[in-house]
Chains A and B, each alone.
Chain A
Amino acid sequence: MSRLKPYTAVVSARYRNLLQYRAAAFAGFVTQLFWGSIRLMILAAFYAAAEGPQPMNMVEVVAYVWLGQALLGMLPWNTDADFKEQVTSGAVAYDLLRPLDLYGYWYARTLAFRTATTTLRAVPMVVFAMLLLPAFGLAEWALPVPSVTGLIGFLAAITAAALLSTAITVLAHISMLWTLSGEGVDRILPSFVTILSGMIVPLPLFPDWMQPFLSWQPFRGLCDVPYRIYSGNIPIAEAANEIAFTLAWTLAIVWFGRFLLSRGVRRLVVQGG
């Protein structure tokens, strides 16, 4: 256990740092609430005129949208500004001196960055969508209470999603060793992540001919898998397979990240005196 200690210490220090921003979290909550409402009204209007059975029913869609809004911050859609600063200032060189595995150290830092603010934002969102909406008489728009198996499967899948999301973000961080600015990744990453994870439109609602492609790409492990396990749209019997799918992609991306990092460090030139 003691070998893990430096990494857990990094995670907890970053957590305490990031949890300071409460006003930003409140603004985020209001924004997500608005966004979720708009998306739900749009999807409900489409569903109202739907002919025949759809790949998801409206209750499953409601769960998908609210979970997406609650866990938005966990998507690998941006990079850590502190890290960017380190790369441009050259302070990243200190990281090379630490008696730690560099990839492991960056992964631990990024895991905290990805999940700390999300925890702060997800809790009020879930409380609001699950408990307060029914109290306002808006039960049909409320985040449904999951079954016990659905909840267990969801918790496992969302953990895998956090690991995958972190691996993708670390990859974006490593790419800055070449691009320095990180501007490119920050502009292009959100588009791919939001559409391919299911944030913009739940993946099962895309045309049937696209489904084979959509079901194999890694980004669906971020939203589509956990949210559908939550609502039971993916039966619990298949959940283990789906989570294994997410973890397999995570391992592949971690391996690729390690490979890139070893190349990047070899050619790294630190500027300044």
Chain B
Amino acid sequence: MADTIALLGRYFGVSIRAQLQYRASFLLNATGQFVNSGIEFVGLWALFDRFGHLAGWTFAEVAFFYGVVNCTFAIADALTTGFDRFGTHYVKTGDFDRLLLRPRPTALQLAGHEFAVRRVGRLLQGLIVLAWATSALDIPWDAARVALLLVTVAGGIAFFFGLMVLQATLCFWTTESLEIMNVLTYGGVETAQYPLSIYHVAFRRVFTFVVPLACIGYFPVVAVLGVEDPLGTGRVFQALAPLAGVAFLGLSFVAWSIGVRRYTSTGS
């Protein structure tokens, strides 16, 4: 285990040093990420400026949802470039063979493909929004709340990581990386920026039971905010919900290993 973590650390160290060689490109990418997600927040602000509240939720509360999911996704996104590019970089070229030959788990090697430092743009933007929302909301921070927030973010990283693993797994069948998974990744972020209670019941079910997005955003965040859930869930459920993200990641790895067994090389 220690060996695994050390190896991942080595991978990331090399990757970060490589990316910082292209300083201008890195700055441009990070700024772009910051501005792009910031623009979304401007839209959110405009709507609250006109309508005052969203089905009883205040601007600061929604900003908190927004901040949590953006930080979570930024971290998961930084860790999963290898899975994102799996189809084009590894399956199409047959390069996955090389990963299979090494005496380390394939998923670990793919995670080490790149640590995308440019995602710091979205992370920073999310943190700023989160800091503002926290100061505006006057949350009584105690150990339980801090712990739950950290568990939520960890569960969220596991969840988005799982989505990327599934996206990569599909490449064993399709070869090409499928654009369609963006609905769940980027679309998931878009969805989780707003409280689940405003969506149609069919969407709520899908995002709770099929793709447990609400379990790593809405439910635990409601508990951190200390408000009543209009959907009527209890605190125990809300606090345990982030575990669904970890379970989702576990299932994704099961699917991954089925895919690996099915893999036939395309290389020559």
Contacts and interface: CB of A to CB of B under 8 A. Distances in A.
Interface stretch (A3-11, A108-116, A155-163, A200-208): A200-208
Contact of A191 (B35, B46, B198): B35
Interface residues of B, number: 35
B179 interface: yes
A38 to B, nearest CB: 6
Interface stretch (B104-112, B133-141, B182-190): B182-190
A38 B187 contact: yes
A34 B187 CA distance: 8
Given A41-B203, A49-B55, A194-B39, A30 B183 contact: yes
B199 interface: yes
Contact of B179 (A31, A194, A205): A31
Interface string A10-48: 000000000000001001101100110110011101111
Most A-side CB within 10 Å, residue of B47, B56, B182? B47
A54 B50 contact: yes
Given A194-B39, A195-B39, A49 B199 contact: no
Contacts of A38: 187, 190-191, 199, 203
A46 B43 contact: no
Contacts of A205: 46-47, 50
A184 B38 CA distance: 17
Interface in B93-119: none
Nearest to B37: A191
A206 B46 contact: yes
Interface string B169-209: 00000000011101100010011001000111001000000
B50 A42 contact: no
B54 interface: yes
B32 A27 contact: no
A42 B46 contact: no
Interface size class of A (residues with CB under 8 A): 20 to 34
Interface in B10-52: 25, 28-29, 31-32, 35-36, 38-40, 42-43, 46-47, 49-52
A89 B73 CA distance: 35
A49 B51 contact: yes
A98 interface: no
B183 A187 contact: no
A24 B56 CA distance: 39
Contacts of B42: 195, 200
B47 A46 contact: yes
A104 interface: no
B43 A201 contact: yes
B179 A45 contact: no
A201 B47 contact: yes
A194 B42 CA distance: 11
Given A28-B179, A194-B39, A184 B28 contact: yes
B35 A31 contact: no
Given A54-B50, A205-B50, A206-B46, A187 B32 contact: yes
Nearest to A51: B52
Interface string A184-225: 100110110011000011000111000000000000000000
B47 A187 contact: no
B36 A191 contact: yes
Contacts of A30: 180, 183
A201 B46 contact: yes
A187 B28 contact: yes
Given A38-B187, A42-B194, A184-B28, A27 B46 contact: no
A45 B198 contact: yes
Given A35-B187, A188-B32, A191-B36, A41 B198 contact: yes
Contact of B55 (A48, A190, A191): A48
B39 A200 contact: yes
A50 interface: yes
A35 B46 CA distance: 19
B28 A35 contact: no
A166 B187 CA distance: 28
Interface in A97-138: none
Contact of A27 (B25, B179, B194, B199): B179
A244 to B, nearest CB: 28
A24 B180 CA distance: 9
A206 B43 CA distance: 8
Contacts of A27: 178-180, 182
A85 interface: no
A200 B43 contact: yes
Contact of A207 (B49, B182, B190): B49
18 contacts: A27-B182, A28-B179, A30-B183, A31-B179, A31-B182, A31-B187, A38-B190, A41-B200, A46-B54, A49-B51, A49-B53, A187-B31, A187-B32, A187-B36, A191-B36, A194-B39, A201-B43, A201-B46
The 9 closest A-B pairs by CB, nearest first: A187-B32, A45-B198, A200-B43, A27-B179, A201-B43, A27-B180, A46-B51, A191-B39, A191-B35
